[in-house]
Amino acid sequence: MDEEILQDFLVEATELLDQLNEQLVDLENAPDDVNLLNTIFRGFHTVKGGAGFLGVSPLVEVCHRAENVFDKIRNQDVAYDAEVADVILRAFDQISRIVNELNDGVRDFDEIDHLLLSELDAIVKGGSQEASFEPVLSEASGPVVSLSLPEGVDPDGEISDDEFEALLNQRDELIEGGKLSQTEVKLQLPEGVDPDGEISDDEFEALLNQRDQLAGADVKAVPEARLQLPSGVDPDGEISDDEFEALLNQRDQLLGGESNAKVPDAEPVLKAAKSAVVAKKATPPPSSPANSKAAGESTVRVDTRHLDAIMNLVGELVLVRNRLLTLRSAEASLEDISNAVGNLDHVTTDLQASVMKTRMQPVKKVFGRFPRVVRDLARKLGKDIDLELVGEETDLDKGLVEALADPLVHLVRNSVDHGIEMPSVREEAGKPKTGRIVLAAEQEGDHILLSITDDGKGMDPDLLRRKAVEKGMMDEASANQLDDKQAFMLIMGAGFSTAEQVSDLSGRGVGMDVVKNMITKLNGSIDIDSALGQGTRIRIRVPLTLAILPTLMVSFGRDSYAIPLTSVQEIFDYDANKTNTIDGQTMVRLRKKSLPLFFLTEWLRPGCTDEQRKGDKIVIVSIGNQRVGLVVEQVNGQEEVVIKPLGVMLQNIQGYAGATITGNGNIALILDLPGLIERFK
Amino acid sequence: MMNQISSIRMSENDDEGFSSVTVRCVLFQLDSEVYGINVKKVREVLRVGQIREVPGASRNVIGVINVRGVIVTVVDGRGVYNLPAKKTDDDSRIVIIEIDDDTSVGLMVDRVIEVKDIPESCVDLMAENREGRSAYIQGVAHYQDNVIVLVDTDVMFSNAR
């Protein structure tokens, strides 16, 4: 297998599959959309073509059958209803799985899900009752060859579905047992086609594989094809795509087990075509399997315009450097230097933005999977749900796109499982039977705002408070002090589940705290709104990019620390008169509220004395849903920092998100506030 | 354990006058003893610049330094071998040791002496699983009246990967 072509194919196939995943669900909602149908058809066809070229026969098999089904749908012989969709989606999953395996370096595929294939065939057959294949079959002038089929199968008699299935299985076993190897070798020879030999599934698959290569090539060795090919096919002439397609379909119908199909009649068709194929076969030397794992997730497609912009800026950067070099050697005036530095500032800022852009991907990459997730879940639960996607074109950092996928799946599943009620319940409540979930993304300054809104049953803050007390997470008094929003946030706690019954979907009480941790790790925040009986909205705010973090630089002594700016709310002077100690905890009064106050110096440099706190600053930060004050010696201002991983042996220390190198070349530690509070509380 | 010794080279003109299998080592000093690290494990040797302390790090970690944009942890060699602490001075060096392609770690030593080929025949391998200090010692070389402790960096930083 040519690895380069394979990689190209994988990129293309992955993109197509992403689209198909969404389109297939769309089609179920709009079965009459001819354009959509054609797009899907083309999608399967393209994957099949590529797979055939590369010789990934299982992929060809599945795609081909799926294509047949869509052909029937296109001819309105079959309706794309939920049952058909189930089979098609399974076929799609099978295709995705194979593509993923290819991506993982698997190069040998032997098992095909025969059940799936026959189900696909069954759809084609079921929808084609009016269409007759008699001409094809009657044209066959008796058994041309007598096949050494297993005993019990009369070559002239009729064959039932079951018998045929058994036949296929036996054949597979024979092939596996190597008993057919000699025959196969014969068949591989260009001219030496043995008309008495058997044709195996594998051999036939080779035929499919070569379809693309065949198209346009002259086919001479089709002696028997005359007998069974539909009229109009010149055995000595070139075989067109369409003709070949017809041939494939014939074979599928025959294999599908038409009760009046005579197997021996069918075989010569296949063999003839096969001999033609084999004659044309130019098998590239097989490359060693799994010799290269697809780059897959580690590559990005970039618009060349972005690259041009970057190239341009790098050119500018070189100019600025040259200017500075000249200024160094000459007796430069301060103004000249200042100009050059100002120029440098602009160029680097633009360059940074441009490089960032290459990492941006539309949020569609994550959203694309949800129509399918919701569809499958809703069907499983017997619910009726419409999913609306808003703002799919919003760009965000590639790393974020990947990191957000799991949390969003959790949240959407929750909405489907817990949020949306059963159709009957909804009707009783006077709501439309079909539930509605809106998944939206929008850019908000340097943040991305994601929201999941459902019109389901909403959450009962009182129930949540009671649960919290029951589970011993807090006492009744403090539970009652929580406002509704804080009560909703309780569901983000570990081990907190309101589901009476644990299903395999959700209710174990592990999902939401994973979501929260993940979002916190991304320096994002979560906010829940809910109205009982009307629905729930969960909003997630994450920074646009992961690599660069806007921070507030604070310091004491020589040490500087960076606090992620997203959590900083306000800064004011420390005044000992405005603090109280309640139950051993120092609190600061801020607009009639008391917030816990922590001394960063004491935590990080134990043993500092009280006098030093003159002129200290209090930085109010929000951590999750609580606000606390951090006392620092000095606030140095805002700085955008590049996050670097802390060195080895330090990554397990709670409280640091990484380190960064500041403007003067020193190292500043980036604080991870939730971890820090955890460590010192 | 063996790979440091087995990654050997033939030395043509050995100090002792005969050709033998040698290990090229960076020799350095901690307290009064001489230690050696296979030169293949050493990326570079740096003078001690500004070290940023990391509150909360384990006792042997002095802090982190900026090596051309990469944050590298600096481990105190004296601490590793339970030697009394000492202030850094002009002789102090940080030996940057490669753990794997992407990770390296700095080892603070009192003084870097030289790079030397040590005949393998001079090396007594340390038995494994011995108590205490031997955890980080691969073997001891008796060479030209010196006793050189060969450091097992793989074990020393095995938890760092």
Which pLDDT tens digit goes with each residue over A73-106?
888 787 888 888 888 888 888 888 888 888 777 7
Strands B93-98, B104-109: pairing is antiparallel
- Residue B32 pLDDT exceeds 80: yes
Searching chain A, which residue's CA lies closest to the CA of residue B65? Answer: A667
Q: Cα separation of A174 and A471, whole Å? A: 61
Do residue A650 and residue B65 have CB atoms under 8 angstroms apart? Answer: no
- The reported pLDDT for the residue numbered A648 is 76
Q: What share of chain A is helix, strand, coil (3-state, %, to 5)?
A: 50, 20, 35
pLDDT in tens, A508-517: 445 677 788 7
Higher-confidence residue of A94 and A506: namely A94
Chain B residue with CA closest to A665: the answer is B66
Q: What is the pLDDT of residue A110?
A: 64
Number of C-alpha atoms within 13 angstroms, CB side, residue A325? 6
Q: Which of A641, A643, A650, A678 to mutate to test binding with chain B, by most B CBs within 10 Å of its CB? A: A650
Taking contacts as CB-CB distances below 8 angstroms, the residues of chain A near B159 are: 649
CA atoms of B89 and B92, how far apart (whole Å):
5
Residue A51, classified by CB atoms within 10 Å of its CB into exposed (0-12), middle (13-18) or buried (19+), is buried
For A234-303, where are the alpha helices, taking DSSP H only?
241-255, 263-280
The predicted model gives A317-338 an average pLDDT of 83
Q: Does B75 touch chain A (CB under 8 A)?
A: yes
Q: Which two tokens stand for residue A190?
A: 């260009």
Q: Residue A311: is its pLDDT beyond 50?
A: yes
In the DSSP assignment, the letter for residue A610 is G
Confidence bin at B137 (pLDDT 50/70/90) = confident
The whole-angstrom separation of Cα A80 and Cα A127 is 11
The reply to whether residue A665 touches residue B66, judged by beta carbons under 8 angstroms, is yes
Q: Tell me what pLDDT residue A610 has.
A: 53
Give pLDDT tens digits for A142-170.
Answer: 333 333 444 444 445 455 555 556 555 55
The pLDDT, as a whole number, for residue A159 is: 52
Instruction: Assign B147 to helix, strand or coil.
Output: strand
Taking CA–CA distances from A646, the nearest residue in chain B reads B71
User: How confident is the model at residue A166, as a pLDDT?
Assistant: 56
For A649, nearest residue in chain B (alpha carbons): B160
B103 CB neighbours in chain A (<8 A) are 648
Average predicted confidence (pLDDT) for chain A: 72
What's residue A54's pLDDT? 79
For residue A442, which phi and psi values (nearest 5 degrees)?
A: -150, 155
Q: Do A654 and B72 touch (CB under 8 A)?
A: no
Of residues B53, B65, B105, nearest to A648 (C-beta): B105
- Residue A531's beta-bridge partner residues? A535
Cross-chain residue pair B58–A667, CB shorter than 8 Å: no
Q: Within a 10 A sphere around the Cβ of A151, how many other Cβ atoms?
A: 6
Question: Closest Cα of chain A to B51: distance in Å?
Answer: 8
A449 vs A205 pLDDT, higher one: A449
Instruction: Give B102→chain A minimum CA distance, Å.
Output: 11
B53 in reach of chain A (CB within 8 A): yes
Any chain A CB within 8 A of the CB of B67?
A: no
Choice between A92 and A614, residue whose per-residue pLDDT is larger: A92
Chain centre to alpha carbon of residue B130? 19
Supply the DSSP symbol for A474: S
Which pLDDT score, from 0 to 100, does residue A222 have? 38
**Is A541 a residue whose pLDDT tops 80?**
yes
Question: pLDDT-based confidence at A239, cuts 50/70/90?
Answer: low
What's residue A227's pLDDT? 38
Q: Which residues of A touch B67 (CB under 8 A)?
A: none
Distance, CA of A650 to chain centre:
32
Between the two ends of chain A, the Cα-to-Cα distance in Å is 59
